[in-house]
Structure 1
Amino acid sequence: MKAGKKLSLQFLASLLCLMAIFLASCGGGGSPGTSSPAASDDKQVLRFPVVGDINSFDPGTVQDTDSNFPIQAVFTGLVTLDKDLKVKPQLAAELPSVSSDGMTYTFKLRSGLKFSNGDPLTSKDVVYSINRAVSKGLNSPVSYYLSLLKDFDKVNAGKIPTLIGDSLLTPDDNTVVIKISKPAAYFLETLSYPTSYVVNQKIVEKYKGGSSPWTDHIQEGAGAGPFKVQTYNHSTGITLVRNDNYYGPKPKLKTLDVVFYKNEDGMYKAYQAKQLDFTYVPTANVGDVTGKPDYSATDVLTIRYLSLNYLAKPFDNIKIRQAFALAINKDLIVKTAMNNAFTATNHVIPSGMPGYDPTLTGPEGTTTQGDPAKAKQLLAEGMKEEGITTLPSLTLTYYPREQSFKDAMSQIVSMWQTNLGVKVNVNTVARARLLDLENATQNNASLPMWQAGWNADYPDPQDWLTTFFDQGSDYNQFNYGQNHSTAAAEQVQVQQELRKADVTQDQTERMKLYNDAEQKVINDVAWIPLWQEKVHSLTSQKVHNLKLNSQQLIPPDDWSNIYMSA
């Protein structure tokens, strides 16, 4: 998921390991093993911030962490990830039965399911929602998460009208059968992403083609999660209230106020003014709060990186790409601009994910300190190969989430100037604008260079490698393997290696294939990874049992444990 992403992004986090990597932002509550009496029901109000207005309230199109937070509270799907990022049944009564060839999944739904307005929720609603998410009409940027569905490519391109009756079947109101195109060890994990979450067809169809989108009418009963929408103001935030029709354990909170802020600095100041019960801490302020009783910090599965478009001059030359990567001292950037709040990295797959390779290096075997001398040499060699003596005008585009991001980008540009003698301009844009620019780059050179981020969506390396670097993938916005560089043919072979890894059943062999592909991707500078993030947060000591997982989310049933003390 685009971090904060797209918080890609930027934002958002995602996400992922069989280890318990979660954001332990649990405040108050006394020492372990103790509890405090709950406040009265009218005081069970949690004020939680996101960067907003959110980009989407539609689970079929959500790409970022901030939008995903309210979506996860209001909507739900067949399965979800728990706090330890393990798949568990949600609308499904249990994990599905799987055919011997690994290509047919049969889910039995819980009995008596309802949307928040009391409408019955059946298997037909599940397949309607999944089919809608992959249809050409929705044109969802995240339909790719369901690309394993049999005939996905046909319905996504509009060649067939629907998958219902094809790969999405409903033998009865309580049974969902899903057929996929190839065996895949990670299929259930993909269903934990909101693309497959269930929406109320009656609400969606009622407002189709209307003057306002259906997401402005979610309060009429569009979801089936632990909360329902009471009000949605695009300027100030979303008021969620307990959904008494929720099939699982009910939230102890009466109200969840999702409050919109322009940035983390605004959240942090509001928390200090006691206007919020939780806040993310801006990087510049981490040193001010470390050690305080309401402070928490945990590694999350988010990588920030730079993208260079293979179709844009001069980045179709591998040596020039490598020069730009090796000219950056990531350790220094993290220490100074990022206040030591994060960890410098050369990786695509973050530490804590299955498939993380501790032996991976940067291009030319470099460390996170880079190699300015080698960078200068590679630039000269690349320019000679291109027959040029000067580089074209270059601009780095990014979304400035906070001052530290601006400082980091300024340092990177300065390093390019100092170590390569290359002047690079910067262009700061709003998050939504950067997402639009990114989405328009596939197979064209419209955006040469930009800063982005990714937060794992499910616990498998496929979410980091095939999702980004496969031929035609929606997120292959830098055109890896679909370019005219000298490495293009080898990149196509890497894409084939990734597809092989996706279907390999032996997990040890799968990870070896992913590790090999990742090193090749890094050598070709498909990404310039910068740092892996930690989430630094403050939680009011009145709040008990609030724990975000590494997606910066709260599993739906966990809301039943969160409460405000008197």
Structure 2
Amino acid sequence: MIRIRPTVRRLAAVAAAGGLLALASCSSSTTPGALAAGDTFVVATAGEPDTLNPVLNYGVDGASLIFDGLVARDAQNRLVPGLAAELPTVSADGRTVTAKLRDGVVFHDGTALTAADVVFTYRTVLDPKVDSTLRSDLEMLESVEAPDPDTVVFRLRYAYAPFLQRLALGIVPARALSGQDVDRAEFNRRPVGTGPYQMESWTPGDRLVLTANDRYFDGRPTNRRLVVAFVADDNIRAQRMRAGEFDVAELAPKLAAGFDGRAGYRVERVPTADYRGVMLPMGNPVTADPAIRRALNLAVDRAAMVAGVLGGAGEPAYGPVPPTSEYAEPAVTGKPTADPVAATALLDAAGWRAGAGGIRARDGRPARFTLMYPASDSLRKELALAVTADAKKVGIEITPEGLTWDAIDPRLNSDALIMGYGTPYDPDFVSYKLFGSRFAGQGYFNPGHYKSTVVDQALQQGRDQSDPAQRKAAYSTFQKQLAADVPWVYLSYLQHTYVLRDSIDGVVPRVEPHEHDVANSLWWNINTWTRR
């Protein structure tokens, strides 16, 4: 069974690291002017990856710092050439895509990149013996060939409009993984790529240390070393930022707000397609009831959550396609404030009657369930508490419970969970697996076992069609059916909040997806950052 979490796995120890503090101290002592040789940036994030192999789901949308794809994304998330000399060409029928490689690109070990490496990467994802969660992302791919060392040809089973976006996948060297058990290869922890940084060391639960790749095809990095500190607990991460250990730290909105106006720091609030919501499992007789789900959707006060829990760093959410997307369906939006009158009427009509303590029941079953959240995530905890308070007002009793991911895993089909996902790229990404019936119960792909023939058909049509109008109609149907069934109660789209030393220049925020740890974070272009 595929196991993937709504954020990357948190391996997670939070003990202070003396060596890391020493690195940070060196970094902060740099004199004004040009960046000193050997300078180090230290960034802190909550999430730690399970692997550093793109084939196994590391940095698949680009900006991984270690690898490059055939294409990359600029500051506006537009596709630009990466390892390809120019954007790949698409045939008139949409089923043949041809990429020409840049000249002179080498891997970190000095070996030349060739089309054979690209072919190997994509064939490995498609290999059923490899436990790649990306295989279903490439269902449209029939074959990939290298007619010569500089050319790659992808042949598709059907036209797939966003295929070029799938070419952001990092390319691995064939010689390093050929003939190996890819799932257990040493490469997964000591990778070799073509990116601006190369591997120095990885201490699980503590840090990843990367050094500059001076042969990087897009220019030598302006800083010599990068340390990514893994600190799962939000409050500890904030404390260590205040102590001067980090140059940049991702923080929950309220914690980041504590640095506003603080000398030596600045706060970046980055727009995202990253949503939070309550996943309601169909294996629980209370949360499986449509009346409970719809009433809870009416009862939550999204405006209050954005103002209070997020400190204004976000906006109300009603579905998985962000409002900024051309595919967003306006008809699915609701009221940002709670409507307890409508929620109460809906429950009354469904036979959920108020009983002792105001908690509703039907046929002897109380309207009661558990809402899980990862204990180290202060934002999800606050959202869980807010949902609990709103639900109580309409007679639904929720018990919030903070757990480790390992404790959450076996309870996904019986207990609700504060989850997060989201992508600014194409609606096919994420939603196809998250709501498709055939993915039900595959870890965090459709963990609540939601099944809808209408949704399945719409999602399939969305990826099968190349015509923009037909795709938009398919995703409109998908969003409307999801809003009617309420397998999730969407709460908010976040702004990702980061605290930085105010001496850092070159920071370019761009709209971020849900996952933003080592890859796709504010430091996506850190190889060009400098200090004053």
Q: Distance in 2 between matches of 1:144 and 1:105?
A: 19
Return 423-432 or 107-116, whichever deviates more.
423-432
Show the counterpart of 1:455. Answer: 422
Q: Cα distance, 1:85 vs. partner?
A: 0.6
Show the counterpart of 2:56. Answer: 61
Equivalent residue for 2:285, pick from 313, 317, 331: 313
Q: Distance in 1 between matches of 2:37 and 2:495?
A: 34
Q: Cα distance, 1:71 vs. partner?
A: 7.3
Show the counterpart of 1:86. Answer: 78
In the alignment, structure 1 residue 471 sits paired with structure 2 residue 430 = no
> Relative to 1, partners in 2 of residues 1:211 and 1:282: Cα closer, same or farther, differing over 3 Å?
closer
> Relative to 1, partners in 2 of residues 1:392 and 1:529: Cα closer, same or farther, differing over 3 Å?
closer
TM-score (norm 1): 0.78
> Relative to 1, partners in 2 of residues 1:556 and 1:389: Cα closer, same or farther, differing over 3 Å?
closer
Equivalent residue for 2:375, pick from 400, 407, 429: 400
Q: Distance in 2 between matches of 1:339 and 1:559?
A: 27
Contact in 2 for aligned 1:330/1:531 (Cα 8 Å) = yes
Q: Cα distance, 1:368 vs. partner?
A: 2.4
Q: Cα distance, 1:53 vs. partner?
A: 4.0
Contact in 1 for aligned 2:73/2:80 (Cα 8 Å) = yes
AA of the residue aligned to 1:500: Q
Show the counterpart of 2:19. Answer: none
Q: Distance in 1 between matches of 2:487 and 2:183?
A: 42
Equivalent residue for 2:121, pick from 125, 129, 133: 129
AA of the residue aligned to 1:347: G
Contact in 2 for aligned 1:306/1:529 (Cα 8 Å) = yes
> Relative to 1, partners in 2 of residues 1:8 and 1:343: Cα closer, same or farther, differing over 3 Å?
farther
Equivalent residue for 1:108, pick from 97, 100, 109: 100
Contact in 1 for aligned 2:73/2:79 (Cα 8 Å) = yes
AA of the residue aligned to 2:389: S
Contact in 2 for aligned 1:130/1:197 (Cα 8 Å) = no
Q: Cα distance, 1:87 vs. partner?
A: 1.0
Q: Cα distance, 1:228 vs. partner?
A: 0.1
Equivalent residue for 2:174, pick from 166, 186, 201: 201
SS at match of 1:472: helix
Q: Distance in 2 between matches of 1:88 and 1:437?
A: 41
Contact in 2 for aligned 1:346/1:368 (Cα 8 Å) = no
Show the counterpart of 1:357. Answer: 329
Q: Deviation digits for residues 472-515 of structure 1, max 9, x if unmatched?
A: 2463333332xxxxxxxxx3123323332334444244324323
> Relative to 1, partners in 2 of residues 1:415 and 1:476: Cα closer, same or farther, differing over 3 Å?
same
Q: Distance in 1 between matches of 2:318 and 2:184?
A: 47
Q: Cα distance, 1:57 vs. partner?
A: 1.8
Q: Distance in 1 between matches of 2:99 and 2:410?
A: 39
Matches within 5 A, 1:293-442: 294-362=266-334, 367-383=335-351, 388-391=363-366, 394-420=369-395, 422-431=396-405, 434=408, 436-437=409-410
Structure 1, unpaired ranges of 5+: 12-27, 29-35, 151-166, 482-490
Q: Distance in 2 between matches of 1:555 and 1:92?
A: 24
In the alignment, structure 1 residue 535 sits paired with structure 2 residue 496 = yes
Show the counterpart of 1:226. Answer: 196
Contact in 1 for aligned 2:283/2:414 (Cα 8 Å) = no
AA of the residue aligned to 2:392: Q
Contact in 2 for aligned 1:61/1:140 (Cα 8 Å) = yes
Contact in 2 for aligned 1:184/1:502 (Cα 8 Å) = yes
Q: Deviation digits for residues 282-321 of structure 1, max 9, x if unmatched?
A: 3223443335662222321111111112343233332222
Show the counterpart of 1:7. Answer: 7
Tell me how large the CA RMSD over aligned residues is. 3.2
Q: Distance in 1 between matches of 2:389 and 2:10?
A: 21
Q: Distance in 2 between matches of 1:555 and 1:110?
A: 27
Q: Distance in 1 between matches of 2:183 and 2:380?
A: 39
Equivalent residue for 1:146, pick from 131, 138, 142: 138
Q: Deviation digits for residues 346-367 of structure 1, max 9, x if unmatched?
A: 23212322223344334xxxx1
Q: Distance in 1 between matches of 2:483 and 2:9?
A: 19
Q: Deviation digits for residues 321-349 of structure 1, max 9, x if unmatched?
A: 21222222222233333333322222321
Show the counterpart of 2:87. Answer: 95
Q: Cα distance, 1:73 vs. partner?
A: 0.5
SS at match of 2:271: strand
Q: Distance in 1 between matches of 2:8 and 2:419?
A: 5
Taking only the aligned residue pairs, the percentage that are identical comes to 20
Show the counterpart of 1:184. Answer: 160
Q: Deviation digits for residues 126-153 of structure 1, max 9, x if unmatched?
A: 1211222232222223333222212xxx
Q: Cα distance, 1:108 vs. partner?
A: 1.1
Show the counterpart of 1:117. Answer: 109
Show the counterpart of 1:547. Answer: 508
SS at match of 1:405: helix
SS at match of 2:457: helix
Q: Distance in 2 between matches of 1:448 and 1:520?
A: 23
> Relative to 1, partners in 2 of residues 1:147 and 1:211: Cα closer, same or farther, differing over 3 Å?
closer
Structure 2, unpaired ranges of 5+: 12-27, 354-360
Q: Cα distance, 1:188 vs. partner?
A: 1.0
In the alignment, structure 1 residue 520 sits paired with structure 2 residue 481 = yes
